[in-house]
């Protein structure tokens, strides 16, 4: 979803947004068990040696290693096994190669589609995406089909994009020339979408065919205003998508495609209040579309908007998810998290008593919130992680602001780290000296700790502003701006 900052869109930016969203190419990806594992045989060439890793798409839409060989030398062959439960799917083959024995390893990556066919691959990591340097065995199906589709699709979409760009920027919209352009565009769009459907049918036995529908181009009401155009695209955004096909949730394209859908609403959100109204509407419409399809797609859509609403602190959006928790056909993986967040929205309200916190501080001394005394009027609880980029960005922006004399005398900061791993803890310890004056605590069990449970923390960063004397909750601001405007 979009970030907390709401951008102001000019006419050209809005037009460019629509053009980009309609014509961009997303990439391919993981869920139903196959009867057997699949083997990838890799012949390494062109480098001294290379660490070779296979990464698979996870539920959080990131790629993580599932197989790895530390060192493969030039001319050697390595075999990697792909578990059947991860197939079919999209994968990344990563090489950390050295050109010479004394060279520093350099990374390169190649995307793969794997279904039920064993693969054999001859690879030069320095040019792993060039057909003359890296190739599959003859009669390989999935990747060969996707390459053929991508080449033809690029040529067809480029022609459509040129005409669309012309119509977006032509200023004499009442002219006969413009009307002829619209007619020609619609003919090309219809022809393109028909070709897309034909290609999908031709490759229907292949996993990659479920990616083609992400290229569908919805209609645009050319005679309308900029807002009408965007609304028109939104209204027909799902026209070409088969929400009855559960395989689409195994693709990284679905996430990108939905990001583009939400960004259309973001283009109309000129204020935070409008954002918090439009994004729940986007969620409601998309989930209702998915509800008519496969239960897995339906559940995926609820999960997607949960993550967005949680990250951006959109309480109104979280509330629209509540009815879906009681629907047994909704196979969401976030049912407990959503219920927990909704409960927290009811419990942690202004005027309620903040749950006590008992943890050791960075010096090993016991800290108890209920007995913590300060001359300042407010206590800011900041739940964060030094391994979270968004958290670090907030802390780095918040710290100098609260060093200003007027705010420094008003707010005491208690920063509760939810870092767990050795790497995360080391990052937290390095960060503490840069945030002097704050009280630093760490919940060793992280997101599963008692303090995270008491404060309904499911994602970071989270801010809770307290009355320093009574320990009552004053506000739960989502942004630094909201925090500052809360304080007299």
Span 381-422, pLDDT tens digits = 999 999 888 899 999 999 999 999 989 999 999 999 999 999
The rounded distance, in Å, linking the Cα atoms of 37 and 57 is 17
pLDDT for residue 35: 54
pLDDT tens per residue across span 48-105: 999 999 999 887 678 889 999 999 999 999 999 999 989 999 999 999 999 999 999 9
Backbone angles phi, psi at 465, to 5 degrees: -95, 125
The rounded distance, in Å, linking the Cα atoms of 292 and 275 is 26
pLDDT tens per residue across span 273-299: 888 889 999 999 999 999 999 999 999
Read off the pTM.
Answer: 0.79
Rg (CA), the chain: 26
Query: In the structure, what pLDDT confidence band is assigned to residue 30 with cuts at 50, 70 and 90?
Result: very low
Find, among 270, 194, 191, 282, the residue nearest to 233 by Cα: 282
The rounded distance, in Å, linking the Cα atoms of 80 and 65 is 12
Q: Which two tokens stand for residue 365?
A: 């001394």
Please, what is the angle between helix 252-266 and helix 272-291, to 10°? 140
The rounded distance, in Å, linking the Cα atoms of 473 and 248 is 43
35: CB partners within 8 A, 6+ apart: 84
Percent of the chain at pLDDT > 90 equals 73
Average pLDDT score over residue span 423-444: 94
254: CB partners within 8 A, 6+ apart: 214, 248, 300
Q: Give strand ranges (E) for 23-117.
A: 38-44, 49-57, 63-73, 77-82, 89-98, 106-114
Supply the DSSP string of 368-398, one letter for each residue: EGGG---SSSEEEEEEE-TT-HHHHHHHHHH
Query: In the structure, what pLDDT confidence band is assigned to residue 4 with cuts at 50, 70 and 90?
Result: very low
Mean pLDDT for all residues in the chain: 89
CATH hierarchy code of domain 358-486? 3.40.30.10
pLDDT for residue 15: 44
144 or 311, higher pLDDT? 144
Domain residue extents for the chain? 11-27+149-345, 38-141, 358-486
pLDDT tens per residue across span 258-274: 999 999 999 888 887 88
Contact between 56 and 91 under an 8 Å Cβ cutoff? The reply is: yes
38-141 maps to CATH 2.60.40.2190: yes
Evaluate if residue 6 carries a pLDDT over 60: no
Widest CA span in the chain: 79
Q: Is the Cα dihedral 320, 322, 326, 331 positive or negative?
A: positive
The rounded distance, in Å, linking the Cα atoms of 113 and 247 is 13
pLDDT for residue 152: 96
> What are the C-alpha distances in Å from 206 to residues 198, 200, 212, 341?
14, 9, 11, 40
pLDDT for residue 19: 45
- Which secondary structure element, helix H or strand E, spans residue 224, and what is its range? none
227 CB-contact burial (10 Å; exposed 0-12 / middle 13-18 / buried 19+): exposed
Evaluate if residue 5 carries a pLDDT over 70: no
pLDDT tens per residue across span 102-155: 999 999 999 999 999 999 999 999 999 998 999 999 999 999 999 999 999 999
Average pLDDT score over residue span 313-323: 91
* CA-angle at 134, arms to 130 and 140, nearest 5°: 110
Q: Which two tokens stand for residue 273?
A: 């209040």
Percent of the chain at pLDDT > 70 equals 92
Other Cβ atoms within 10 Å of 435 Cβ, number: 17
356: CB partners within 8 A, 6+ apart: 368, 369, 370
pLDDT for residue 54: 96
Query: In the structure, what pLDDT confidence band is assigned to residue 454 with cuts at 50, 70 and 90?
Result: very high
pLDDT for residue 67: 93
pLDDT tens per residue across span 165-204: 888 888 888 899 999 999 999 999 999 999 999 999 999 9
List Cβ<8 Å contacts ≥24 apart for 285-294.
285/234, 286/238, 286/258, 286/261, 287/320, 287/321, 287/324, 289/238, 289/243, 290/243, 291/327, 291/329, 291/330, 292/243, 292/244, 293/242, 293/243, 293/244, 293/245, 294/243, 294/244, 294/245, 294/246
> What are the C-alpha distances in Å from 339 to residues 236, 281, 311, 319, 478?
31, 20, 16, 10, 20
Lowest mean per-residue pLDDT among 97-106, 165-174, 236-245, 324-333: 165-174
Q: Is the Cα dihedral 303, 305, 311, 316 positive or negative?
A: negative
């Amino acid at each position: 979803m979009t970030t907390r900052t709401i951008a102001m869109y000019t006419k050209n930016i809005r037009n460019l947004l629509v053009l980009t969203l309609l014509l961009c190419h997303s990439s391919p990806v993981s869920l139903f068990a196959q009867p057997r594992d699949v083997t990838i045989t890799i012949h390494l060439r062109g480098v001294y040696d290379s660490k070779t890793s296979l990464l698979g798409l996870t539920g959080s839409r990131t790629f993580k290693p599932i197989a790895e060989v530390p060192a493969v030398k030039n001319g050697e062959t390595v075999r990697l096994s792909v578990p059947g439960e991860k197939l079919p799917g999209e994968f990344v083959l990563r090489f950390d190669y050295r050109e010479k024995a004394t060279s520093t390893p350099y990374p390169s990556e190649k995307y793969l589609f794997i279904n039920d066919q064993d693969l054999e691959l001859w690879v030069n990591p320095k040019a792993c995406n060039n057909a003359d340097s890296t190739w599959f065995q003859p009669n390989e199906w999935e990747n060969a089909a996707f390459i053929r589709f991508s080449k033809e699709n690029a040529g067809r979409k480029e022609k459509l994009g040129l005409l669309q760009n012309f119509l977006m920027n032509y200023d004499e919209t009442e002219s006969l020339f413009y009307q002829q352009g619209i007619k020609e565009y619609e003919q090309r769009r219809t022809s393109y979408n028909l070709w897309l459907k034909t290609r999908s049918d031709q490759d229907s036995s292949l996993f990659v065919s479920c990616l083609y529908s992400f290229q569908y181009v919805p209609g645009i009401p050319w005679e309308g205003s900029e807002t009408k155009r965007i609304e028109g695209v939104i209204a027909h955004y799902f026209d070409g998508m088969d929400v009855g096909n559960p395989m689409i949730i195994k693709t990284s394209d679905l996430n990108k495609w939905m990001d583009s859908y939400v960004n259309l609403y973001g283009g109309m959100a000129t204020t935070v209040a409008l954002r918090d109204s439009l994004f729940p509407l986007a969620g409601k419409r998309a989930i209702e579309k998915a509800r008519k399809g496969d239960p897995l797609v339906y559940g995926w859509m609820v999960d997607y908007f949960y993550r967005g609403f949680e990250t951006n602190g959109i309480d109104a959006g979280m509330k629209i998810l509540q009815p879906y928790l009681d629907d047994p056909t909704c196979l969401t993986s976030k049912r407990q998290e959503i219920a927990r967040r909704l409960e927290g929205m009811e419990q942690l309200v202004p005027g309620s008593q903040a749950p006590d916190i008992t943890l050791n501080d960075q010096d090993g001394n016991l800290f108890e919130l209920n007995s913590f005394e300060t001359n300042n009027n407010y206590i800011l609880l900041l739940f964060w992680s030094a391994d979270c980029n968004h958290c670090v960005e907030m802390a780095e922006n918040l710290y100098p602001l609260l060093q200003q004399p007027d705010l420094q005398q008003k707010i005491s900061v208690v920063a509760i780290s939810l870092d767990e791993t050795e790497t995360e803890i080391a990052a937290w310890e390095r960060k503490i000296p840069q945030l002097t004056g704050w009280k630093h605590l760490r919940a060793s069990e992280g997101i599963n700790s008692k303090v995270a449970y008491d404060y309904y923390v499911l994602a970071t960063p989270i801010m809770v502003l307290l009355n320093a004397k009574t320990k009552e909750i004053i506000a739960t601001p989502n942004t630094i701006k909201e925090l500052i405007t809360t304080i007299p």
